[in-house]
Each structure stands twice: as C-alpha cells, then as structure tokens.
Structure 1
Amino acid sequence: MSKLKIAVQKSGRLHDDSMQILKDIGISIDNGKDQLKASTRNFPLEVFYLRNGDIPQYLLDGVVDAAIIGENVLVEKGNSIKTVEELGFSTCRVSVAIPKSVRYNGIQDLNNKRIATSYPNTVNHFLKENNISAQLHIINGSVEIAPNIGLADAIVDIVSSGSTLFKNNLKEVEVLLKSQAVLAASPKIGDEQQAILDKLQFRLQSVLKARQSRYILLNAPNDKLEKIINILPGMKSPTVLPLAETGWSSLHSVINKNEFWEIIDELKANGAESILVCPIENMVF
C-alpha cells in the first residue's frame, strides 16, 4: 500500500505544534525516542524528522511528498514549492533589528550598513525592492550577537515574542515578512500520494475550522427569536428547538471565537439567557 512521506521539523516549537495537529486529526504515530522516521498505525503516512532548513531540498528532490514547514523557510529556500494549506500556528516574522541605542528614521538608514542574517535571499529581495545597498554577513546560529561584537550594524532574523532581541539590547525596526506553519507539497508528488495528501488536508481543514469556532447554546423568548437569529452567523442558520416552558426556545449555532465577546454582549442585550459556549473538535462540511 502506498504511503505519503511527510517531513516535520525534528525539534522545537514547530515540531511540537506539528505533532499536536497530527494527533488532533486522529493520526497515531509510532514514535520512538531519537527516531528520524516513524510510521503511523491508522493512516498511510510516514513521518520524517528533519532540520527545518533542509526540508525544502527534500521536497524539491521528491525525497518526501509533503511537509509541515515554516513559511519563512519556503520563502528563503523553496519559492517554487507549492503551499497547500496555511496552518495558522508557529507564527513569527522575519524582521530587521538594530541596537536599542541607535536612532532609526526609516529604511534608508540601512544604506551601506552591515547586516547579519541567516536569510540572505529574503534580505536581498527586500533590499532590492527598497533600492538599498548593504553588505550581508551570512551567519548560521546566534545572529543576535553580531552587533554586540562589532560584526554587523543590524540583523535580520525570525522574531516571535521579541524576548531574544530584548536580551541582546536590540529593537525591531522593520518586518520583512510574516510567517506561519504551512502544509507544502513536493513538485514531484505522485498521483497516489496526492490522493492521500488530499485526505490529510481535508482532516486538517476540519480541525483548523473548529479551532477558530465555538458552539453556542442559549435560551430566548419566542418574541425575540428573530432579532437573536439575525445576530448569530451560524453555519447556514441556527437550530431552534422549543423548550418545555411555553413561549421559550433553545438556539444552537456556531460563532467565530474572535467575535465571541461582541456577539455575547449583543445576544444578552436582546434577551438571550443561559448562554453556553463550547469548544469544537472538528467541523466537517
């Protein structure tokens, strides 16, 4: 039986988030300690644990069929690789940072400066786009130390919380790109593997949609149902069920978690009572 070969980062936050979403879509991975490859018991999948920076080449060569990878790495090393699905986790940005003590007036301040980075292709594109001339120092590792030892005037690196910049007396001044984890496919993926990838993507979409949604149940007097129904976005329309108490009904619907408090406030103002909100595991369309 054919299997889909998928790469994930071997360690770190992206690894943990990737393994969690595979678990959430019901895939059981036989994963022993320090294994570089693992099989799954209930889905035709082989998981390869690789360095994030190596994954684009494995995709281009067809060694793996798909990958969960940082978008920033694809921009840097695999522009020709197709992104199949944005996954919404492991978010970060690729940014310019300079010493806190240095005044920054705008992009032109980077002219003729020394920039240390692990993302030369991304930086060169940014500099060319903004007509900036700068000298790049390619560093693999702790880029943040470069200004402190006099190697560079600025750095370009990934930023999540900004705590690493803060510890190294740096400040973020420009964002080159915003990144998240994505599902990517090899340009050499076969038809059988593509069919498996489609099934995997379907499962991912159901979990991602559920993560952004909440199931809501509430009670309301029948004379206010129309107003309350107009407030609830729902999937198509809310489910309305009569309560044992005459003149009252129960409404069931789905709301976007980011609009939760605004919708709750509006529902209460229009007569909704006993509002119950629950997380959703999957949403299948």
Structure 2
Amino acid sequence: MLKIAVQKSGRLYEDSIKLLKECGIELNNGNKQLKAVAFNFPIEVFFLRDDDIPQYVYDGVADIGIVGENVLLETAKDIDLVYRLGFGKCRLSVAVPKAMHYNGAGDLNGLKIATTYSTILQKYLTGNNINAEIHEISGSVEIAPGIGLADAICDLVSSGSTLFTNGLKEVEVILKSEAVLTANKKLSVENKAILDKLLLRINAVKTAKNNKYILLNAPNDQLKNIAALLPGMKSPTIVPLAEDGWSSVQSVVNENDFWEVIEKLKSFGAEGIIVLPIEKMIV
C-alpha cells in the first residue's frame, strides 16, 4: 500500500483532497482523523503539518507527499520532486517599507531581513553577493519592520494585500512556488507501480483542466483551414451534416489558446460553436 502525506489544514489541504477525489480515490476522513485508507485504491493518507511532510517522506514513513515547493526547498531533504500539481501557487518575495527608496537588490546590503525561510533567503543573498543579516522568526513576519525587529522581510505572497496592509511593498521575487508531489528515493517496486497508476490519473485530471472540448458546424470549403487550426489530440473529427456543403467538427483546444482560436474559427465561417469541459483526458 502506498502511503501519502498531505497537509492536515491550511492552503493546500482542500486542493489536495479535491485532486484525490478527481482521481477517483474515495476517502473517509470523518472527525478529522490523522490517517485514512482509501476504499477503492491501494493508498493510505497521512494528515500532517506542512513543514513535517518532507521529513516523513525522507524517512520513509510516507512514500510520497504533497507539499509546497517552498517548504521542499527550505527543508532541503533529499527526496524526489515527481510532479508539479499547479495549485497553491504563490511567490516568496522580499518586501521593504513603502517609504524606502529602492533601486535594486544591492539596496538590501546591510539590512536585517526577517523570514521563516532562512535557507532559501541565504541562498539568494549569497548568489547575488548581498551581505544582509537574516533574522529567523515564525509567524507574523510582515509586522517585523513595523515593530523595529527588522528592516525588511522575506515571506510568501499571493495577492499582496497583507503587505499593503502592513505598509510594505514587494521588491524582489526569490521563488515562484506551487504544490508538488514528492517521493522517497527508495520506493519498493510494488509502491512504484502504484505511484505510476496514481500519476496516470493525476495527469489525466490536470490535462483535462487545461483543455476544452469544442463542437462546431463548418462550411466544407473551409475544412482545410479549420483542421489546421484544430489539430486536437491527433486530428479533428469531421462528420458530414444533412445540409449539403456543411460538416460537424469536433476537437480539443488548449485553454491558453481558446479565445484566439474561437476568433479565427469565426473568421472561417464556423457556426454553432459549443464548448464543453473535459473531466479526464488520457494522452
């Protein structure tokens, strides 16, 4: 049985559980149990503190884990990054008081910077030849400049509203982070096989989210142009309509290209365009 560690509370918990459900894995975690066994897949879930997950995976107590990339890099445990999951996106940034005149990273020289991420920050400072003092604290990092504890901070940023509220401005992005799937380097052959099955499901779910299924009616004299625009997974499905000179076209469009493709389809005379979400997509 494959053992996976996920966050028991916090910003990654809901998306982690949602992903497992979308992969068809049914869990019963009533009364906030610290572990749960899936009904229909050989997997056991441990609910842990985010900061503890890399250690559990490294020690082999958990075979795999879902954790923020920022935590993975900060703990510096020798475990594998298997898959970038695309949720829990944020950035680790340096912020200074709004009133401070800031010209570049060199202005951090000689400052005292408060952070929870001393390992990542020190690597950044060393790599940029910056001589600054790191003041390591946990929680409420953003208030450090306001109470005279530090000149600047290095902390996670999502919207930036917390920085604004505390009179700070973001000046340097050190790391762009998201939830990642990690694994112990010494998985058994059995658990490696289970992980491969899980990765197939995860990839099908994530790929589906990035694509849309479209159906449209197209004039036959434009089918060549439309087919070139809509390659789909291999090529679009084209079926003649009862009305002469027209065909039905079905294909898949990447979310990032969606509106540009729709505009071009309209210019080629496409009509009755229907867009549907894709639940799973196995390529």
Give TM class, smaller chain. Answer: over 0.9
Question: 5+ unaligned residues in a row in structure 1: which ranges?
Answer: none
SS at match of 2:62: coil
One-letter amino acid of the counterpart of residue 263, structure 1: V
The aligned residue for residue 98 of structure 2 is 100
C-alpha change, 1:6 and 1:49, in structure 2 (3 Å) is same
Q: Confirm or deny: 8 A CA contact 2:23 2:201 kept in the other structure.
A: yes
Of the three residues 62, 87, 107, the one matched with 1:64 is 62
The aligned residue for residue 185 of structure 2 is 187
Hey, which bits of structure 1, 4+ residues long, moved more than 2 A?
none
Task: Quote the Cα distance in structure 1 between the aligned partners of 2:57 and 2:138.
Answer: 21
The aligned residue for residue 2 of structure 2 is 4
The aligned residue for residue 255 of structure 1 is 253
Equivalences for residues 22-101 of structure 1 within 5 A:
22-101=20-99
Task: Quote the Cα distance in structure 1 between the aligned partners of 2:35 and 2:77.
Answer: 26
Task: Quote the Cα distance in structure 1 between the aligned partners of 2:185 and 2:136.
Answer: 28
One-letter amino acid of the counterpart of residue 178, structure 2: Q
Q: Confirm or deny: 8 A CA contact 1:219 1:272 kept in the other structure.
A: yes
RMSD across aligned positions (CA): 0.9
Q: Confirm or deny: 8 A CA contact 2:213 2:277 kept in the other structure.
A: yes
Q: Confirm or deny: 8 A CA contact 1:71 1:181 kept in the other structure.
A: yes
Q: Confirm or deny: 8 A CA contact 1:113 1:134 kept in the other structure.
A: yes
Task: Quote the Cα distance in structure 1 between the aligned partners of 2:269 and 2:47.
Answer: 53
SS at match of 2:213: strand
| Number of residue pairs aligned between Structure 1 and Structure 2 | 283
The aligned residue for residue 196 of structure 2 is 198
- Using the TM superposition, name which of 214-223 and 184-193 deviates more: 184-193
SS at match of 1:30: coil
Shift of 1:33: 2.1
Shift of 1:9: 0.7
Task: Quote the Cα distance in structure 1 between the aligned partners of 2:192 and 2:99.
Answer: 52
Q: Confirm or deny: 8 A CA contact 1:53 1:73 kept in the other structure.
A: yes
Cα-to-partner distance string for 1:121-152 (whole Å, 9 max, x where unaligned): 10010000000111111111111110110000
Task: Quote the Cα distance in structure 2 between the aligned partners of 1:110 and 1:215.
Answer: 49
Question: 5+ unaligned residues in a row in structure 2: which ranges?
Answer: none
The alignment-based identity, stated in percent, is 60
Q: Which TM-score applies when normalising by structure 2? A: 0.98
The aligned residue for residue 116 of structure 1 is 114
Q: Confirm or deny: 8 A CA contact 2:55 2:77 kept in the other structure.
A: no
The aligned residue for residue 218 of structure 1 is 216
Q: Confirm or deny: 8 A CA contact 1:215 1:254 kept in the other structure.
A: yes
Task: Quote the Cα distance in structure 2 between the aligned partners of 1:80 and 1:18.
Answer: 22
Shift of 1:166: 1.3
Q: Confirm or deny: 8 A CA contact 1:37 1:46 kept in the other structure.
A: yes
